[in-house]
Amino acid sequence: MEKIILTGDRPTGKLHLGHYVGSLRRRVELQESGAFDKIFVMIADAQALTDNADNPEKVRQNIIEVALDYLSCGLDPAKTTIFIQSQIPELCELAFYYMNLVTVQRLQRNPTVKAEIQMRGFSDNADDETQQRRGTPVGFFTYPISQASDITAFRATTVPVGEDQEPMIEQTREIVHKFNSVYGPTLVEPEIMLPDNAACLRLPGTDGKAKMSKSLGNCIYLSDSADDVKKKVMSMFTDPDHLRVEDPGKVEGNTVFTYLDAFCRPEHMEKYAPDYATLDDMKAHYRRGGLGDVKVKRLLIAVLNETLEPIRERRRYYEQRIEEVYEMLRKGSELARESASATLADVRRAMRIDYFGDAELIAEQAARYRAGE
Ligand code: TRP
């Protein structure tokens, strides 16, 4: 069986370091590994619209931001098909059929959707509808089903995503099982691929909060300048009890060290902190006391800027070629559509709703009526 990757991002803002360590870096490695027959990366604008119906302009403007971030990180359109979700109408049709295979109750149990409904303040009290609070848009509530269409349309075997997406992959697998058992083997069951390092699984924000998120204003963006990065790192949270340099410090839960875990490689230590053989040696010094926060932050700034510089450079290149970027997205969408439409044809055949192509159905009914049954 072909090994196929599908993954994507909602275009609701520029991508940040959380996206980078959680998925983008891995995607580029997978692309370069040659271990996959096909790789699809989708800009999920239709999914973004499920809770931005009143703000399509935001989604529209962020498509190019996400595309630029992809290209700057090293996704290569010659090896990876980059496309826009809404340009593949087959995805809607698949979702419409899958809706019959999922219960409202099952969707209500999806922990990510639950948390997101809460976070967005959607109300489940019908009376609130007429007051201020909005209820949950049906499209938003059902986006896990649409995501199952995204994944299965491309026959993805592997879905590299963050852990918050685990319930979506689980739900997709259930839909695949159900579909295949009702209509016969048709769809491919995907597997999730999670980041392999705990710091990458969920990179905290610069304020130490659980997650980097635009609404919390605690992000370092891939497109931030070296100066922005310096300022943001300098204001980062460390260990609140590490008041004087001599005091012993805590490494666990210390955001600066968490970022180092996610970004620092042995060659960085050699180059920027040659007093220590490894990051662990530096952590040991910090724990003992005698190592100031500023020194650790300087290392992090150097590491981040070294990581981001080639990304910024490619971004500058593509920013001068916006028309070409759109052309790349158009071609990618065209190619993606071919795959999705082949899967949709299989689905229709399996569900036996391919009436006009079904000579047997027509002949059998014609014969029955002619015989006057
Ligand atoms: N839900 C994903 C996110 O918010 C984006 C997404 C949409 C996706 N469709 C997908 C990810 C299919 C993986 C596979 O980041």
**Does the C-beta of 10 come closer than 6 Å to ligand 1?**
yes
What's the one-letter identity of residue 242? H
Compute, in angstroms, the gap from residue 170 CA to the centroid of ligand 1.
13
Please identify every stretch of the chain with a pLDDT value under 70, giving residue numbers as ranges.
Answer: 124-133
Measured in degrees and rounded to the nearest 5, phi and psi for residue 7 equal -155, 175
**Does the C-beta of 151 come closer than 6 Å to ligand 1?**
yes
User: What is the pLDDT at residue 358?
Assistant: 87
Compute, in angstroms, the gap from residue 9 CA to the centroid of ligand 1.
5
**Does the C-beta of 7 come closer than 6 Å to ligand 1?**
yes
User: What is the pLDDT at residue 23?
Assistant: 87
Greatest CA separation for the chain: 99
Nearest CA to ligand 1 atom 9: 147
What's the one-letter identity of residue 362? I
User: What is the SS3 string spanning the chain?
Assistant: CCCEEEEEECCCCCCEHHHHHHHHHHHHHHHHHCCCCEEEEEECHHHHHCCCCCCHHHHHHHHHHHHHHHHHHCCCCCCCEEEEHHHCCHHHHHHHHHHHHCCHHHHHCCHHHHHHHHHHCCECCHHHHHCCCCECCHHHHCHHHHHHHHHHHCCCCEEECCHHHHHHHHHHHHHHHHHHHHHCCCCCCCEEECCCCHHHHCCCCCCCCCCCCHHHCCCCECCCCHHHHHHHHHCCCCCCCCCCCCCCCCCCCCHHHHHHHHHCCHHHHHHHCCCCCCHHHHHHHHHHCCCCHHHHHHHHHHHHHHHHHHHHHHHHHHHCCHHHHHHHHHHHHHHHHHHHHHHHHHHHHHHCCCHHHCHHHHHHHHHHHHCCC
Tokens read off for 139: 């499209």
The number of the ligand 1 atom at minimal distance from the alpha carbon of 162 is 15
Percent of the residues in the chain that have a pLDDT greater than 70, as a whole number: 97
Compute, in angstroms, the gap from residue 194 CA to the centroid of ligand 1.
13
Q: The dihedral of CA 129, 134, 139, 144: what is its sign?
A: negative
Pocket probe for ligand 1: among 165, 170, 202, the residue whose CB has the most ligand atoms within 8 Å is 165
Compute, in angstroms, the gap from residue 285 CA to the centroid of ligand 1.
41
- How far is it, in rounded angstroms, from Cα 141 to Cα 145? 9
Pocket probe for ligand 1: among 5, 7, 41, 202, the residue whose CB has the most ligand atoms within 8 Å is 7
- How far is it, in rounded angstroms, from Cα 79 to Cα 40? 9
Pocket probe for ligand 1: among 47, 88, 164, the residue whose CB has the most ligand atoms within 8 Å is 47
Q: What is the pLDDT of residues 227-283, one digit of tens each?
A: 999 999 999 989 988 888 999 999 999 999 999 999 999 999 999 999 999 999 999
Contact 109, 363 (CB under 8 A): no
Contact 240, 289 (CB under 8 A): no
Pocket probe for ligand 1: among 9, 98, 120, 158, the residue whose CB has the most ligand atoms within 8 Å is 9
User: What is the pLDDT at residue 168?
Assistant: 97
Contact 319, 288 (CB under 8 A): no
**Does the C-beta of 157 come closer than 6 Å to ligand 1?**
no
Interhelix angle 166-183/111-120, rounded to 10 degrees, is 130
**Does the C-beta of 84 come closer than 6 Å to ligand 1?**
no
**Does the C-beta of 150 come closer than 6 Å to ligand 1?**
yes
**CA gyration radius for the chain?**
24
C-alpha pair distances (Å), 166 with each of 74, 149, 192: 25, 16, 7
Nearest CA to ligand 1 atom 13: 7
**Does the C-beta of 147 come closer than 6 Å to ligand 1?**
yes
Nearest CA to ligand 1 atom 3: 9
The number of the ligand 1 atom at minimal distance from the alpha carbon of 47 is 7
Compute, in angstroms, the gap from residue 165 CA to the centroid of ligand 1.
7
Compute, in angstroms, the gap from residue 240 CA to the centroid of ligand 1.
36
User: What is the pLDDT at residue 82?
Assistant: 98
How far is CA 99 from its chain centroid?
Answer: 23
User: What is the pLDDT at residue 127?
Assistant: 61
What's the one-letter identity of residue 7? T
**Does the C-beta of 273 come closer than 6 Å to ligand 1?**
no
Prediction pTM value = 0.93
Contact 287, 248 (CB under 8 A): yes
Nearest CA to ligand 1 atom 15: 9
Contact 47, 12 (CB under 8 A): no
